[in-house]
A and B are shown apart, each in its own frame.
Chain A
């Protein structure tokens, strides 16, 4: 094509590109210039005056693949900020939170955190949503010496990252995923070996680091108890349709279905297919989805939700003063009912609480001190229960509970482990509402 483009036009265009980029970047870095002495141990700039707000930065998936959870997380963070400021702030200083959208994209997450840390000079960082994004984000935080407390990156790949191995700056306040189905396994065990041998179970799971580890562990344990495994397959997270898998499971008519799901659409599709196949498993537990409150019941229909079980570290009726306060504030601000509160909200709120307690105990916002405090084996209280971090940064004191929807989808209650505040489990799921 036309080899005679005047040199100037060609080079002018490229020159223009550089000038434009330089201009844009210079403009947006207006508050930083070349003060590049970013040491690896300091947190943000000198926020010397005691009335200067504590600034916190976080990147969340407000759009993109993880948007449902990302937006729920944002609500949790915001609620915490509101409560903390209403109570006088931390160390007498108000808290200011900035949330940026990362569109569920790792490049954006890295850009966001570098902007928050190096341009906005936030004092602290909160984590993003999903193990996929937490890895690269925590590496950025580690390089800059920031503590990285998060509630939604629980897969082992988050803690195995080389940067966490080196700097140990990542802390997950939520339940480590691998063991979350153990209360359910214990329940099956409690039915006695004779009964166990008569049960059949299916284990369909999405190919995801959050969904498959607990399902695979549960399968191994249940098999050891004598339960017959009639279906055990992994399917791609993004299938064109879950219908074939669901039909294959239904054809085997298992008593128990343990579904490795990561979101509501997967569970909803299986439930809907089972209904069409006139198949109701006696027990149906999903790794994620039913714990999203109204987001779940809206998608599947409240009547169908009854009997659905899900493991989690928290639920709206949790008998904890702070948790109850958070739930009622949420309902007041966003409407709906208590059982409609998404578990992500509590995870996010707990992140704030952990960081708050670390700051208060240290008397400063210094990130290095926060990291060493959190690794000191101290036990902290949050809306999700107790938090105690092991050397990797996982919450070793988190207890797994199993929750169930009852009463035509209006009640979301703890059924396992039995004892305490737990409610009797609906042992056999009622037929689908048609």
Chain B
């Protein structure tokens, strides 16, 4: 019964998402949808790796930009025209995966803060390669092939492509979450050494998640490149990209797929929309966004989804006798895993 309702709810969501550009056909509105879905895909991809393993990666832009550049180079050198560019998307995924393997083999040998900095370092190396290599167009960047769609169908088509990517990545993330593979990832998150001791092949497992995450991010990077028609080293490899992803996921709730999606769907349209209001344009919008973030963090420190879940549970269980979950007071990481009822979703 529960699964039926759960499934039904998700189908309703999907139908709403599909109908959205038909109802709101204005390109300015669908544009929000496109950008939000692009970030939602990237956020779910980030979650697949970082949310499950607990390794905070600030290097996803490496894949995003590489996917974009791979498409640009391929389209230019193979003289791809028009809509056949979309056939190249799987290639960008392959490029992302190919980069993730050596990247992961190096970076995943270290943990925690060191890992974060290594991902930042690799990011800058890639940005510089985009500036300096002969085939990347240098500081002038690359352009994408011309798509002759009118504004409304242009945005609608990109919307559905981005939606497909988001749905695809959510499905992948969900499947991983339910599988033994996902269990191994979360074991690494809880306590890597203990997981190792229990027989989890940590490096292989981490690398697999890292590669999947990289492939998805590369694909959505290529989609973004086609949408914007141009990529430059500073925009394809944008240092703020990863920070934005992290914010989205933490805002929504670290460790859950719906948290990642929710965070992206809130932050991206909100920040974009704010700058289109002349009253907020300029430095005021930064102050406002900063203030909003602060308020959310102070009142919902674990993110919206977990706090929202807690809140709803509180309402549902009002009047019932209090149940005291068996929590243990210990080091930070296992404390939050023990408070199982109200913490982030396992997915």
Chain A contact residues, CB within 8 Å of chain B? 1-18, 20-22, 24-26, 28-29, 32-36, 38-40, 62-63, 98-103, 105-108, 110-112, 114-115, 117-119, 131-132, 135-136, 139, 143-144, 155-157, 160-163, 165-166, 207-209, 212, 236-237
Q: Which residue of B lies closest to A208 (CB)?
A: B139
Q: Which residue of A lies closest to B286 (CB)?
A: A63
Q: Is the CB of B230 within 8 A of A101?
A: no
Q: Is the CB of B152 within 8 A of A38?
A: yes
Q: Is the CB of A17 within 8 A of B343?
A: no
Q: Which residue of A lies closest to B132 (CB)?
A: A207
- The answer for the CA separation of A100 and B272 in the assembled complex, in Å, is 11
Which listed residue (B6, B139, B261, B312) contacts A237, Cβ 8 A?
B139
Which of chain B's residues have a CB closer than 8 A to the CB of A107?
35, 228, 272
B 118-162 to A, binary, CB cutoff 8 A, 1 in contact else 0: 000000000010011000011111011110111110110000000
- The answer for the CA separation of A36 and B255 in the assembled complex, in Å, is 40
Q: With A36-B152, A99-B278, A160-B143 as given contacts, are A15 and B26 in contact (CB-CB < 8 Å)?
A: no
Which of chain A's residues have a CB closer than 8 A to the CB of B179?
none
- The answer for the CA separation of A4 and B283 in the assembled complex, in Å, is 43
Q: Is the CB of B276 within 8 A of A157?
A: no
For chain B, what secondary structure do more than half of its interface residues adopt (helix, strand, loop), or is it mixed?
A: helix
Which listed residue (A15, A105, A119, A208) contacts B9, Cβ 8 A?
A15
Q: Which residue of B lies closest to A31 (CB)?
A: B26
Q: Is the CB of A2 within 8 A of B342?
A: yes
User: Does B340 belong to the interface (CB within 8 Å)?
Assistant: yes
Which listed residue (A14, A25, A28) contacts B33, Cβ 8 A?
A25
Q: Is the CB of B139 within 8 A of A114?
A: no
Q: Is the CB of B258 within 8 A of A7?
A: no
Q: Is the CB of B16 within 8 A of A101?
A: no
Given contacts A10-B345, A144-B27, 12 further A-B contacts (CB under 8 A): A1-B255, A2-B341, A6-B316, A11-B10, A18-B16, A25-B32, A34-B23, A106-B230, A115-B28, A136-B230, A144-B151, A236-B128
Which of chain A's residues have a CB closer than 8 A to the CB of B148?
166
- Least distance between B108 CB and chain A CB atoms (Å): 21
Q: With A21-B36, A28-B276 as given contacts, are A136 and B228 in contact (CB-CB < 8 Å)?
A: yes
- Least distance between A161 CB and chain B CB atoms (Å): 5
User: Does B184 belong to the interface (CB within 8 Å)?
Assistant: no
- Least distance between B273 CB and chain A CB atoms (Å): 6
Q: Which residue of B lies closest to A162 (CB)?
A: B146
Which of chain B's residues have a CB closer than 8 A to the CB of A3?
340, 345-346
Which of chain B's residues have a CB closer than 8 A to the CB of A7?
2, 5-6, 9
Q: Is the CB of B312 within 8 A of A157?
A: no
- Least distance between B137 CB and chain A CB atoms (Å): 8
User: Does B41 belong to the interface (CB within 8 Å)?
Assistant: no
- The answer for the CA separation of A50 and B33 in the assembled complex, in Å, is 36
Of the A-B pairs whose beta carbons lie under 8 Å apart in the complex, a sample of 24, sorted by A's number, is A2-B344, A9-B308, A9-B313, A14-B261, A20-B266, A21-B32, A24-B270, A24-B273, A25-B32, A29-B24, A29-B29, A32-B29, A62-B281, A62-B283, A63-B282, A111-B35, A114-B28, A114-B155, A119-B26, A132-B234, A139-B229, A143-B154, A144-B27, A207-B139
User: Does B256 belong to the interface (CB within 8 Å)?
Assistant: yes
Q: Which residue of B lies closest to A107 (CB)?
A: B35
Which of chain A's residues have a CB closer than 8 A to the CB of B13?
11, 14-15, 18
Which of chain A's residues have a CB closer than 8 A to the CB of B266?
17, 20-21
User: Does B53 belong to the interface (CB within 8 Å)?
Assistant: no
- The answer for the CA separation of A424 and B2 in the assembled complex, in Å, is 87
- Least distance between A239 CB and chain B CB atoms (Å): 11
Q: With A18-B17, A21-B266, A103-B275 as given contacts, are A207 and B131 in contact (CB-CB < 8 Å)?
A: yes
Q: Which residue of A lies closest to B148 (CB)?
A: A166
- Least distance between B177 CB and chain A CB atoms (Å): 9
Q: Which residue of A lies closest to B20 (CB)?
A: A22
Q: Is the CB of B276 within 8 A of A112?
A: yes
- The answer for the CA separation of A21 and B272 in the assembled complex, in Å, is 12
B 317-347 to A, binary, CB cutoff 8 A, 1 in contact else 0: 0000000000000000000110111111110
Q: Is the CB of B150 within 8 A of A40?
A: yes
Q: Which residue of B lies closest to A238 (CB)?
A: B234
- Least distance between A111 CB and chain B CB atoms (Å): 5
Which of chain A's residues have a CB closer than 8 A to the CB of B272?
107-108, 111
User: Does B90 belong to the interface (CB within 8 Å)?
Assistant: no
Q: Which residue of B lies closest to A102 (CB)?
A: B275
Which of chain B's residues have a CB closer than 8 A to the CB of A166?
146, 148
- The answer for the CA separation of A117 and B305 in the assembled complex, in Å, is 36
Which of chain B's residues have a CB closer than 8 A to the CB of A161?
143, 229-230
Q: With A1-B344, A212-B139 as given contacts, are A111 and B32 in contact (CB-CB < 8 Å)?
A: yes
B 79-109 to A, binary, CB cutoff 8 A, 1 in contact else 0: 0000000000000000000000000000000
Which of chain B's residues have a CB closer than 8 A to the CB of A22?
16, 20
- The answer for the CA separation of A38 and B266 in the assembled complex, in Å, is 28
Q: Is the CB of B269 within 8 A of A25?
A: yes
B 25-58 to A, binary, CB cutoff 8 A, 1 in contact else 0: 1111101110110000000000000000000000
